[in-house]
Structures are given as structure tokens and as C-alpha cells.
Structure 1
Amino acid sequence: MNLNKLPEIPWYMDLGAKARNLYRDCPLDIKNEISFFLDHGYVVLKNSLPPERIESARNAFYRHKKKYANIYARHADVNGLQRRIVNLHMALYEFQDIFSLNTRALKIQDYLFQSPSTCFTSLTFESGSEQSIHRDSPYFTTTPEYYYLGVWVALERVDHLNGALEIYDGGHLVHEVDRFEIFERYYKYGDQIDQMDPRLWADYQQATIESCIAKGLEKKIVPMEPGDTLIWHPHLPHGGSAISSQGRSRLSIVNHVVPSGVPVSGLNVFYRNSNPPDSVNYGYMNHADRNFLIHKNVEFQHADPQPANEFRN
């Protein structure tokens, strides 16, 4: 991908996006989904993957969990469930299928990007995250900005009891908060910053939530069935709802997707303390005609790396 060919701002970030030519010219078979996405900041594709594909992925996960029980046990919660496994798709081909063979979801991603969608990273959740509502941008800053989508596939039923996605419906239309004012609370331009500084994350997310509340937006739970796919806008405030049915699993996969060749950075670029990269040297692999960024390791909650080539079923 020649980054110079990407518009500086994706067309779906335009608050008047439904008046743009790209919406008017949208293929009829995905126009309803694109319309919902532009209005609400997300869209759910019902039964986007067949039951046999979902069952295959689910079975692959539980075989893998049994085979490497000693490793999984180190990171299990009190109910024996996993909250966050990073890039497990690098060890499970069935998880790669969930992205590469999700034809309808890919068509929507490609149209939004105006470029083929690529899997940058993945997260696997056997249990709900219960993560507070947030925007992903500080830790997922693309160059150009906002060339990113979240793609969540349910492998089991997800509802208000086991930690469904929680969103501010329409929150993607709330303008960006003053991130630079937040940065200057703690740093001066040019300072070396802690890439995991919790203050920068917390203040940004709090300001975003306050903006949503000021607009009169309400939080909403999004239930899903196995085989459903949810695609969310890069500016959608989202999180994991509280789990009231403790011990009940909620197996799902989130793919973080970008156009091929798009650099992804963190807090330093998001707060403009460092210049954004103008190129990348990422390595890619291809599975079923879709590119995946190559990751050498699978991690549990961003720790305990396991070499992907040795960590297979």
C-alpha cells in the first residue's frame, strides 16, 4: 500500500459521510449495513459465518487449551476461563479462517477502507473482558489516522449475563477531545513519555465518556449469537459489560484490522509527541487470499510469550 494514495481522513470519519459519493455509490447488497454503521458506529451481521465454521473454531480452541493446559492454567481466572489471549490466530488456522472466510464482513471492511482489509492483531476472549468503555485510538493510532476497524466474531452466545459488548450508540459522532491538553497536564513536548502511562489513557477516556453523556447518549448492550460478526467504527466508545453469570464462558475473537501497509503506533504518536512513521517493514503472511501481519508469539494478557510455530494443535 502506498500511503500517499490514502486520503488523509477516511471517508467514514466525515460527519456528513452519508452525503458523500462513496455512500451513494455503495453496492446495494451492503448498503443497509453501511448506512447503519455510519449512523450508529457499529453494525452486526447476523449469521455471517456458518455453524460448521464456528464449531470448527470452537473445537480447535478447546483442543488447544487441553493440549497446553499447564500454560493456560497460569492465566485462568477463578472459573478457569481466559480473559485475553493475544494473536492466538497465529497458532490456530481455524481462527485465521474466521477472518479470511468471513466474506460479507470483508466486503464491508474493504468498502469502508477502499482497500483490502488486513488482520493486524487478534484477541481471544473465553470470558467477557469487563473492560470499561473506551476508544481504541491511543493504543491503535494509524497513519493516516482512523484507518482501523474492530471486527468481533461470537463463537458462543453473548448476552447481558455473560459480558456482551457495551457501547455508546452514536458515540463515534462525538468529536475528538483535546488530547493535546491532556498530554500537557503531565509532559512537555519532546519529553520521553511512558508508552503505558495510565494517566494519559484514563484522562482521555474520561473526557470521551463525559462528551457522550453531554450529548445525551446512553449505554447499550449488544447481544450476539454464534456466527454473528460485529464491526465497530474506530471512534466508537465501547467496552465489556459486567458479568452477572459468573463461570459462564463467552468465547469470541476480535480482529483489529487495517489496510495493508498502514503503520500502527501508540501514545507517543497519538499525542503528537513523536512524528508518525511514513513507512513500515511489517512482514505479512497470506491465508485464503487475506493478509495477516506476522507475529512470532502468542501472549496471555500481553505477557508470557509462546512461540507461535511451537504452540500449535
Structure 2
Amino acid sequence: MNSSWYSGYGEEKFVLDGISSIIQNGYCVIPGSVCEELVDAATNAYERLKQSEIVPKTSQLTEGEDYVDGKFRRMVNMHLRLPEFSDLFSSNKALSVVDRLFDEPATLYTSLFFEIGSAQNCHRDTPYFWTNPGYSYFGVWLALEDVNEDNGALVVIPGSHKVMDDPKFLEEVGKIDCDADGVPKAHSPMLWNTYQSAVHKRCMELGLKETPISVKKGDTIIWHPQLMHGGYKIANTTRSRKSFVMHVTPKHMNVFVQDKFFSPSTYAQLPPKNPELSYITNRNGREVRNDGLWAICQKIYLPA
């Protein structure tokens, strides 16, 4: 990316600094991007929902896999269930950075709410967030409480977004697990793990380092779709690490998964946008994709 295209537009300094950091490092941190009152409103709304609706529906979930000490690992599309979470998107000043990068307003595609750290290995999002043109997506991660290495900070590999994918390599990975017609399987763990391991190995060979990021409540981290990121190992499992991850795209942008990502010869044929995609305008005027489902631990899907 060439930073010269955005100069001279008179944006606030944090926008230009954020863009510069994403270009150079693959991510940026926007301190105090959401006020504490909105963060508290969202977490309090979640606690009420948890006691009234979530806990009664989750008796069959497995301790350790899905939750630890009564704290759930992830909730899908909480913004469709609680307007307070939609407010965390629409009132987040960090979106100004993404708006400028898209050159149009960012819309909310999907979201994840974490009550505890993910402790997930470093990975790229692109196999599940592929677009045409490529990389028309950003991850926007909001800390709902202070986060550090003790309770599972976000981990990034600065500069990993510059490690390019070889189309031939992607095609070869796609052949590892495909259907009878040779099409890579859309949700294959084998494809995911093979790709992520290879990219991580290449990053380590180049001398790049995993770096945990400690942030304060209300801070936002934005990452490039090709940035390797994950969750730091949780040192203190009694602590929560509430965070809200927003997957943002331009409006009507089609988002594809692994069957398309691992078929680079078909990229040019992918339809960029779909005007039939449904959106709702939230109470602060931002547009949110309306797919009608939210989920507890990605297993129990409920109407919004």
C-alpha cells in the first residue's frame, strides 16, 4: 500500500497515524475510541441476558471447551441481540480509520463477543473473509475491560501482512481436502491449519515476532486482513477478558470462505457486491448486516 494517496485530506491526526501504522505494521491502536459509559452499558446488558436467557439454554455445553468458570468463550453476532453492542460499533471513533481505507463508510458484517481470552494460535482471517477486490475487510477489536498478558492479551505479528501468498501455494493447499469435483472444502479444518501453519513458519523464518498488546478499557485495535493475530495464553483463568470483535466491510460486499480463497484462479470471477444483501440502520446511523441469527458459543443459534 502507498501512503501518499491519503495525505492532504485534513483528517484528524489519529486517522492518519492509524493508517500509517496499518501500512507499516499491519495494525493500529486507537486509545479511548469508545467511552466507558457505552462499554458499561453493553457489558451490563450482557450480564442481564446471560442470567435470564443464556445460562438456561447452555446446560449441555462442555466446561473447558465452551466456557471456563462460568465464563463463555464466544458469542456470535451479539449486536443483533443487544442494541448496546451495536452502539459499540456505531459510536466507535476508530471507524474513521476504516472509512478512510475503504473510501466509503464501513458496515458491520459479523461480530464476536468474548467473555474470556481466546488463547487462539496466530492466524490470518482471509480464508474466511475473502472478497473481490481482495482484502476489503478489517478486524476491529474493542477492549471492554483492561487487557494484558495476565488475562489473555491480543497477540499480533507486526509486518506479517506483508508476507505475500503465492497463488500456486494456495492452489496446492486447496487440493489437500476437496470434494469430488476438486473444489476445496469451504469449512475444512485441514485446509485452515495447513495454511496458517505455513504462513506462521514463514513469518518466523523472516525474523518476525509474536507481540502481545496490552490495552485499556475502551481502546480499539484494527488489523489488516492478512495480519497474523491470536490470543495470548491466559495466565489467570479466574479473570475475564471481555472484548468485542467487529468484522467490517464496505456495504453490500460479498464475503467468501475457504472454497474460494484456495481457488485463486477464480478470483476475478467472484461477484464483488450483492445489492440484495439486507442491512439495518442502527440508532446511531451506521449500517449493520442483518442475517437474523446470533449464537451462543457458535453452537446454539437463536433468532435475533
Q: Which residue of 1 aligns with 2:143?
A: 154
Q: Judging changes above 3 Å, is the alpha-carbon distance between structure 1 residues 28 and 306 closer, same or farther for their aligned structure 2 residues? A: closer
* Residue 166 (str. 1) matches residue 162 (str. 2): no
What amino acid sits opposite 2:294 in the alignment?
A: V
Offset, 1:307: 1.1
Report if aligned partners of 2:148, 2:215 keep a CA contact under 8 Å in 1.
Answer: yes
**Could you give the per-residue CA deviations for residues 204-252 of structure 1, whole angstroms, max 9, x where no partner exists?**
1011101111211011001111111111111100011111101210111
Report if aligned partners of 1:141, 1:265 keep a CA contact under 8 Å in 2.
Answer: yes
Offset, 1:96: 0.5
* Residue 86 (str. 1) matches residue 81 (str. 2): no
What amino acid sits opposite 1:71 in the alignment?
A: K
Give aligned-pair identity as a percent. Answer: 35
Q: Judging changes above 3 Å, is the alpha-carbon distance between structure 1 residues 50 and 78 closer, same or farther for their aligned structure 2 residues? A: closer
* Residue 247 (str. 1) matches residue 241 (str. 2): no
Report if aligned partners of 1:73, 1:80 keep a CA contact under 8 Å in 2.
Answer: no
Out of 217, 237, 249, the residue aligned to residue 226 of structure 1 is: 217
Quick check: 272-281 or 64-73, which moved more? 272-281
**Could you give the per-residue CA deviations for residues 19-43 of structure 1, whole angstroms, max 9, x where no partner exists?**
x323564625221222122111111
**Could you give the per-residue CA deviations for residues 61-97 of structure 1, whole angstroms, max 9, x where no partner exists?**
1111111121255445231111111001101010000
Q: What does 1:157-196 correspond to in 2, within 5 Å?
A: 157-177=146-166, 178-187=169-178, 190-196=181-187
Out of 20, 31, 40, the residue aligned to residue 16 of structure 2 is: 31
What amino acid sits opposite 1:165 in the alignment?
A: L
C-alpha RMSD of the superposition: 1.9
* Residue ranges of structure 2 left out of the alignment (5+ in a row): none
- Mapped partners of 1:31, 1:78: distance in 2: 40
- Mapped partners of 1:83, 1:194: distance in 2: 26
Report if aligned partners of 1:87, 1:295 keep a CA contact under 8 Å in 2.
Answer: no
Q: Judging changes above 3 Å, is the alpha-carbon distance between structure 1 residues 295 and 206 closer, same or farther for their aligned structure 2 residues? A: same
Structure 1 length-normalised TM: 0.88
* Residue ranges of structure 1 left out of the alignment (5+ in a row): 1-13, 309-313
Q: What does 1:265-304 correspond to in 2, within 5 Å?
A: 265-272=256-263, 275-280=269-274, 281-287=276-282, 288-304=284-300
Structure 2 length-normalised TM: 0.90
**Could you give the per-residue CA deviations for residues 169-220 of structure 1, whole angstroms, max 9, x where no partner exists?**
1111111242112123444894244322111111110111011112110110
Report if aligned partners of 1:172, 1:234 keep a CA contact under 8 Å in 2.
Answer: yes
Q: Judging changes above 3 Å, is the alpha-carbon distance between structure 1 residues 62 and 28 closer, same or farther for their aligned structure 2 residues? A: closer
Q: How many residues get paired? A: 291
**Could you give the per-residue CA deviations for residues 111-153 of structure 1, whole angstroms, max 9, x where no partner exists?**
0111110000000000011111100011111122100000011
Report if aligned partners of 2:36, 2:217 keep a CA contact under 8 Å in 1.
Answer: yes
- Mapped partners of 1:73, 1:121: distance in 2: 26
